[in-house]
Amino acid sequence: MSTEVTQHIPADGAPASGTGASESRRPGRRRDGRRPPLRHRVITVSLLTVAALYFLMPVYWLAVSATKSSSDLFGTFGFWFHDPHPIDYLRRVLTYDDGIYVRWFGNSLLYAGAGALAATLLSAAAGYALAKFPFPGREGVFNVVLAGVLIPGTALALPLYLLFSEMGFANTYASVLLPSMVSPFGVYLCRIYATAAVPDSLLEAARIDGAGEARIFTVLGLRLMTPALVTVFLFQFVHIWNNFLLPLVMLSDSDLYPIQLGLTSWQGYADRQPELYQYTVGGAFLSVLPLMVLMGVLQRYWRTGLTEGSVKA
């Protein structure tokens, strides 16, 4: 078992050292050859197990409840199965109201996917410019962007709605997409990263060879900044996917809803239409599934980005 643990170390450490932010040196715990006493191991693992039960319990409840009918949700014990029909119930979630659930899911993918992609490219270009071109007022621009990181996003949502409805494009895809394409944190991260990872000498060499600035950026800059770009994309994707207030204030047409907004509207009607309880639970389960798989798989990328971010304060 201890080999399993040690195998984790290089696998986890590799991307971190790739960023140059942190050399992946583990504390010399197994190097000295002493194993900690059994008593310590039992205490540590017990504490970790209690914590794991707390974090996994609601997810377990959700998985069990997604297989139940609305009346069984109320009538039977929540932590165990009762007459499970997962396929049937989940199919009903997907087909209810002409498959509106699938549409909501597609909307969420569009907002988060397109928004995060655009945000990443814009941040990359802006961060690269701030890192590699000394021009008057550069620090001023950077500080304004940095202040943007500290402004709460939801404090902006309401004024943004007032502004957009004045301009006449509230309740459109663009009203959610455009604000999603701006990531001050992404610019911050890209600037820090480009400063360290894109050598000036390389840019100079490319210039002497006659390459244009746009070409240097797309061929050299973007490639060298890839680890930071992956992080920015992931952060922004999750940020947009989780955003609730912005679509809530912007959208009134349920065809444009992202998944979260759709599910709360189901939950709101469930008093009058009890089968919606089951659809809300089943829909929540389906929406959480892909994200949690993503979290598990992409943990190491998160870590990479987090190291970058944590040097900041």
Judged by CB under 8 A, the residue of 93, 160, 228, 256 near another protein is 160
Please, which residue, 116 or 130, has the CB nearer to another protein? 130
Q: Where would I find the beta strands (DSSP E) of 154-240?
A: none
CA distance 35 to 91: 52
Does position 41 interact with another protein (CB under 8 A)? The reply is yes
CA distance 30 to 146: 42
Does position 174 interact with another protein (CB under 8 A)? The reply is no
Tell me the CB-side half-sphere exposure of residue 208, using CA atoms within 13 A: 6
Please, which residue, 80 or 87, has the CB nearer to another protein? 80
For residue 242, give every residue at least 6 positions away whose Cβ sits within 8 Å of its Cβ, in sequence order, or none.
260
Of residues 67 through 96, those in contact with another protein by CB under 8 A are 73-74, 77-79
Q: Which two tokens stand for residue 51?
A: 């914590």
Task: Tell me if 101 sits within 8 A of 265, measured CB to CB.
Answer: no
Of residues 104 through 123, those in contact with another protein by CB under 8 A are 122-123
Does position 101 interact with another protein (CB under 8 A)? The reply is no
Residue identified by tokens 């455009």 is 178
For the chain, what's the residue count?
313
Please, which residue, 161 or 233, has the CB nearer to another protein? 161
Judged by CB under 8 A, the residue of 10, 14, 18, 51 near another protein is 51
CB of 85 to another protein, least distance (A): 18
Does position 299 interact with another protein (CB under 8 A)? The reply is yes
Q: Which two tokens stand for residue 97?
A: 């109201």
Binding mask 192-231 for another protein (x = CB under 8 A): x--xx--xx------x-----xx--x--------------
Does position 181 interact with another protein (CB under 8 A)? The reply is yes
Binding mask 258-297 for another protein (x = CB under 8 A): --xx-xx--xx--x--------xx--x--xx--xx-xxx-
CA distance 87 to 304: 38
CB of 306 to another protein, least distance (A): 5
Q: Which two tokens stand for residue 60?
A: 């377990």
